């Protein structure tokens, strides 16, 4: 870990940033129960445990005052009509936000709060997306054939709560309808 201020470059194509410590890969098998079309999910998994997304993290202490930074790459594809997406999470410390900067591709950030608010924002290259404290967030790649690549930075003490989303899902899903991305209610969303 660096003990001096440092710089790094962000990828122009889907390469990792010039500095990183951990490379996390998430495959289809880690998304059990998250996609609406369970039959499509099982059929796809029987063929191949497809790589859905990757995260390159720069390691820093998980303490107040630090920022955890990195680059995520969500690959293109669908399970049934539902686009490839990240697991999504609340921060364990709910009152922590996150800054995203879209480098490449097209997609959407699906967000919601424990109070019942929801919001979907588009990812556009060159745009910053600010996730407010208290908002769970999931990144979705709505492109047919291009990676969605973004930089992120969040407080060192934030932590990740995946369990709530694993149990209840997000209120909204992003699916392909008539060849276009559409935001629809998640019929399987449940409180708690
Ligand atoms: C991001 C995400 C990353 C992968 O760094 O962790 O894009 O998504 P999941 O963590 O939901 O699998 C972030 O939001 N960190 O807090
Ligand atoms: Zn986060």
Residue closest to 150 by CA, chosen among 165, 134, 130: 130
For the segment 137-146, what is each residue's pLDDT rounded down to a tens digit?
A: 999 999 999 9
pTM of the model: 0.97
Using the atom order of ligand 1, give the atom closest to the CA of residue 24: 4
Kindly state whether residue 6 falls inside one of the protein's structural domains. no
Residue 50 predicted with pLDDT over 90: yes
Kindly state whether residue 15 falls inside one of the protein's structural domains. no
As residues whose CB is below 5 A from the ion ligand 2, the structure lists: 98
Kindly state whether residue 115 falls inside one of the protein's structural domains. yes
Kindly state whether residue 176 falls inside one of the protein's structural domains. yes
CATH code, domain carrying 49: 2.60.120.10
Kindly state whether residue 27 falls inside one of the protein's structural domains. yes
**98 in contact with ligand 1, CB cutoff 6 A:** yes
Kindly state whether residue 12 falls inside one of the protein's structural domains. no
**CB burial readout 29-59, b (16+ within 10 A) else e:** eebeebbbeeeebeebbeeeeeebbbbbbbe
Instruction: Determine the structural domain holding residue 27 and report its residue range.
Output: 22-185
Q: Whose CA is nearest to atom 13 of ligand 1?
A: 152
Residue 110 predicted with pLDDT over 80: yes
**54 in contact with ligand 1, CB cutoff 6 A:** no
Number of domains in the chain: 1
For the segment 54-89, what is each residue's pLDDT rounded down to a tens digit?
A: 999 999 999 999 999 999 999 999 999 999 999 999
Q: Residue holding tokens 């997304």?
A: 53
Kindly state whether residue 36 falls inside one of the protein's structural domains. yes
Kindly state whether residue 9 falls inside one of the protein's structural domains. no
């Amino acid at each position: 870990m660096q003990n001096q201020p440092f710089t790094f470059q962000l990828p122009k194509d889907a390469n990792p940033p010039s500095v990183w410590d951990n490379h996390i890969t998430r495959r289809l098998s880690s998304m059990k129960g998250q996609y609406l079309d369970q039959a499509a999910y099982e059929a796809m998994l029987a063929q191949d445990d497809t790589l859905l997304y990757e995260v390159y993290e720069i390691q820093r202490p998980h303490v107040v005052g630090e920022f955890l930074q990195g680059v995520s790459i969500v690959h293109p594809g669908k399970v049934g009509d539902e686009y490839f997406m990240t697991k999504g999470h609340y921060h364990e410390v709910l009152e922590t936000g996150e800054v995203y900067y879209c480098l490449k591709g097209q997609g959407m950030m699906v967000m919601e709060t424990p109070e019942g608010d929801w919001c979907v924002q588009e990812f556009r290259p060159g745009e910053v997306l600010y996730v407010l404290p208290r908002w769970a967030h999931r990144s979705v790649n709505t492109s047919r054939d291009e990676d969605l690549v973004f930089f992120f930075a969040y407080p060192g003490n934030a932590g990740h709560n995946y369990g709530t989303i694993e149990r209840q899902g997000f209120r909204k899903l992003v699916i392909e309808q008539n060849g276009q991305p559409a935001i629809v209610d998640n019929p399987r969303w449940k409180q708690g």
